[in-house]
Chain A
Amino acid sequence: MEDYTKFKLKRKEELDAVLADKDDLFVVACNKCFKELDSFDEPECGLFEEIAKEQGKNIVGSAQIDFLCNEPLTSKSFQDLIPQETKNVFVISCGLGIQTIAGMAEIPVYAASDSVIVDGYHGMALTTTLCEACGQCYLNLTGGICPVVDCSKSLLNGQCGGAKNGKCEVDKEMDCGWQLIYDRMAKQGRLQELLDQPVELRDYSKVNHKFVSEYVKSVREERYEGYYGGIHPTEFKELSEHISLVRFPDPVNVVIPMSQHAGAPAEPIVEVGQQVKMGQKIAQAVGFISSAIHASVSGTVVAVEPRLHPISGLDSLAIVIQSDGKNTLDDSVKPAGELDKLSADEIIEIVREKGVVGMGGAGFPTAVKLKSPKPIELVLLNACECEPILTADHRVLLEFADEVIYGLKAMMKASGAPKGVIAIEDNKLDAVELLQAKTADIENIEIVVAKTKYPQGAEKMLIKRVMGKQVPSGGLPMDVGAIVCNVSTAKAVSDAIQLGMPLVERVVTVSGNRMNKPGNYLIKIGTSVKDIVNHCGDVIGDDVTVKIGGPMMGFAQANLNVPMLKCSNGIIAVETTVKEAVECIKCGRCADVCPMELRPLYFTKYALSEDWEGMKTQNTMDCIECGCCEYICSSKIPIVERIKIGKTAIREGK
């Protein structure tokens, strides 16, 4: 395996000369990149410190930092690191790290190392294949062997004539690149093509500074827009974003699990054989963080028994109702009256009683959020829908805009928040326009258009983007005076107040490039995923993974005989990914994309060595499991799985 480590310590004589007139040194070393990850703490600063001490120099401190050239992260850890008495900083790193530190520090910064020469650029794997990035790819003329890199003279028009026995005259260890090209072309029967080619001239002017610098600027702006990191997977929203909502045909049976929310499972209050009506409460909340559950159809309770749960993958208690097909409404389903006349506590009570929970995925009981013990200054409606493929929230915005705004107003009143914001990503401009028009006259509601970037919809990211505030480690949005709710939740709040209808149905996207007929449906809670997939013409092919939720954070389902929950926003069918994890090569992309500014590469190593202390020092518990690191991992390591192992161990007190 190649090792692309890019620096080595300068020679002693040179260091001696540089050190001669300098004292009170602080030493910063970069922990190297692009090498097989054996140990974290490389390089040893020891040798440099020895040389310095030999000269009687005072070393005031030292630090080893990962990916020193990652300027946003480095500047954070570097700020408080340098002691006051430091007069000179010495950096052991490649030229990028040294320049990054030099750009940050107010005091002189010196290089203690030289960058190692590699001609050309490597890819993301540790291989010998290099690219010179000449901007005018010649590979089409040469059978896929690069004349710029593989010929020591970078000749473009054939052999120089100096090669002996297939070896280069400049470097006898090196194969003659043009001999390789000739052999490859002969093998493909393309020798005549090679001979017929016109003379090639290399155009060195192709790469211009303006193009590169503007490009770098735009990438950096996108990368750090709103919050650090994040990714932009292919959206695939065009599969279903234009398809209007359709009410899904009523199921014959609904299976309603007692655990559809964060907190304690609800407790059934109906028995087998009992007749129930649509909207009737069938299970009550147990404890403060829990939620009531209601019948989504009218009919007969045919079972109260454990059934397969789509999220836990285990059997858990559920109420099965056989529908009578009439959807007879329960008496409790009636409007609560004017919003103006309801008190904050009355609204919260309605929201609690009607079983409204967060519908973006986590299912946190909304009433608990609204009854915040801390003052709330902003209710933030999350309409980012940053997960690829999903379009349910988009359709809710377009088709239930009035309800969404009503729900937001109700939540603002309930929580005492003076301001409301609806945050929408810029890939839903039709929804932005509609909501802007509808809220134009409402002073305290603002529409914020956020750049499309996953995981924009994660509440901590969204708060940072909209409010510019950082939720403290281990904290909740209310710690910064915010409540974050999904748009579907706002619609459910509106239904609960305006119609008296509990949360018994929701908008679901059924899509993915392996779903035969994508669409957006209003689906009764408890409807079987299998029925829905069948209704949509089944999946295409046999290498398909069906997930509940989006492709990034959704739950893969091996058995489709599971019900839709209050927090299930999509059913997607995607091509099954084939991957084989290999060793981490410290490419640093996970740290580059982690929106929580963590360093996921540590987790992969610590989980295997069961180093729970290490997990803690790297703040594993702050991970929001968005999956950016795993998506980007060039070694295909199941990082999220390993993070979950670490979190479980820490929760168990290990």
Chain B
Amino acid sequence: MLITQLKSKETIEALAQGKTVIINCHGCKEVYFAEHEADELQKDLNGVTQIITTDYICNPDNLKLQLLKHTDVINAADTILVFSCGVGVQTVAAQFEGKRVYSCCDTYPLPGFQGVTPLNVDCGQCGECYLNGTGGICPITACSKSLLNGQCGGAKEGMCEVDKEMECGWERIYRKLEKLNKLDNMKYDAPKVRNYHNPNAEEPTI
């Protein structure tokens, strides 16, 4: 899941050079888009010839269709400013290879994949699910260091030493295993080494 934050006003002002077309994407807005802040900011920009607000610009076919009636004004523009996630900006840039296409947002990840409401759990897509030994709590995403073999020792009162706002993932795993009466997992399971390349990965069989 992705969210976007507006870049600073000065940065965006510096990007708007010459005739400028603005494209806002509200496709994932239900999740997050700084709609009103963007509106206000866009009012103060110089040289704006058109503001286009649409959705799902990450879909190149849809983007083409939505921009069709603005073809002339886009062709005449010097700059296209895009207010969307990084996927949207790249899609617009690929569609107008000869134009200066600029991103006005920074994109951050949220737990969960696209589509559903952001989750409380996250998946690092590591390719070799470790959840079996950890009571269903992911050591890759719940531990700030993505440790696979237990606590680093730096946690204080259950909170992570890297980010004190974050609970220690391995402490959570311990508590969960305790509850499931599976603490033996931690004692006797063989040490794990993360395989970043995963050469044994088979093609999907399901």
Contact = CB atoms under 8 A, between A and B. Distances in A.
Given A219-B110, A588-B115, 16 more contacts: A92-B206, A98-B136, A108-B182, A116-B125, A116-B204, A121-B2, A122-B87, A123-B59, A124-B58, A129-B91, A133-B107, A139-B93, A144-B92, A188-B98, A578-B66, A589-B30
A71 B103 CA distance: 33
Contacts of A211: 108
A131 B87 contact: yes
B124 A69 contact: no
Interface of A: 4-6, 8-11, 18, 33-34, 42-44, 47, 67, 69-71, 92, 94-96, 98-103, 107-111, 113-118, 121-125, 127, 129-137, 139-140, 143-146, 184, 187-188, 190, 206-213, 215-216, 219-220, 223, 231-232, 234, 543, 578-580, 582, 587-589, 592-593, 632, 634, 636
A137 B198 contact: no
Contacts of B65: 578-580
Contact of A94 (B69, B103, B123): B123
A108 B165 CA distance: 28
B158 interface: no
Contact of B126 (A10, A117, A121, A137): A117
A131 B201 CA distance: 24
B200 A11 contact: yes
24 contacts: A8-B201, A8-B205, A11-B202, A94-B123, A96-B121, A96-B123, A99-B131, A100-B121, A110-B131, A114-B127, A123-B87, A125-B58, A129-B91, A131-B85, A131-B90, A133-B2, A137-B105, A188-B97, A209-B165, A210-B166, A216-B110, A234-B26, A588-B115, A634-B27
B128 A114 contact: yes
A145 B56 contact: no
A99 B138 CA distance: 7
Contacts of A219: 31-32, 110, 117-118
Contact of B107 (A111, A134, A143, A582): A134
Nearest to B85: A131
Contact of A123 (B3, B98, B114, B141): B114
A129 B58 contact: yes
A593 to B, nearest CB: 7
Given A96-B119, A110-B131, A588-B115, A137 B106 contact: yes
B110 to A, nearest CB: 6
A107 B110 CA distance: 28
A137 B118 contact: no
B99 interface: yes
B132 A111 contact: yes
A127 B68 CA distance: 20
A129 B68 CA distance: 22
A99 B61 contact: no
A406 B30 CA distance: 38
Given A98-B131, A115-B129, A634-B56, A592 B113 contact: no
Contacts of B77: none
Nearest to B11: A140
B113 A137 contact: no
A27 to B, nearest CB: 12
B15 interface: yes
Contacts of A113: 129, 206
Nearest to A150: B90
Contacts of A216: 110-111, 118-120
Contacts, number: 289
B89 interface: yes
Contacts of A188: 97-100
Given A578-B66, A593-B30, A95 B123 contact: yes
Of all A-B residue pairs in the complex, the 8 with the closest CB atoms, nearest first, are: A144-B93, A102-B136, A123-B58, A95-B123, A131-B86, A125-B59, A123-B87, A43-B206
A207 B109 contact: yes
Contacts of B98: 187-188
B10 to A, nearest CB: 13
B205 A47 contact: yes
B7 interface: yes
Interface string B166-206: 10000000000000101000000000000000101111111
Contact of B87 (A101, A121, A207): A121
Contacts of A206: 106, 108
B136 A109 contact: yes
Nearest to A107: B180
B144 interface: yes
Interface string B75-105: 0000000000111111111100111111101
A118 B113 CA distance: 11
A116 B127 contact: yes
A95 B103 contact: no
A589 B122 CA distance: 18
Counting chain B CB atoms within 10 Å of each CB, the highest count among A34, A95, A145, A206 belongs to A95
Contacts of B141: 95
A129 B114 CA distance: 14
Nearest to A628: B30
A4 B115 CA distance: 12
Nearest to A123: B58
Given A8-B205, A127-B58, A578-B66, A145 B93 contact: yes
Contacts of A124: 27-28, 56, 58-59, 114-115
Contacts of B108: 133, 135, 206-207, 211-212
B3 to A, nearest CB: 7
B47 interface: no
Contacts of A132: 86
Given A67-B115, A137-B86, A10 B129 contact: yes
Q: Which of A6, A71, A121 has the most CB of B within 10 A?
A: A121
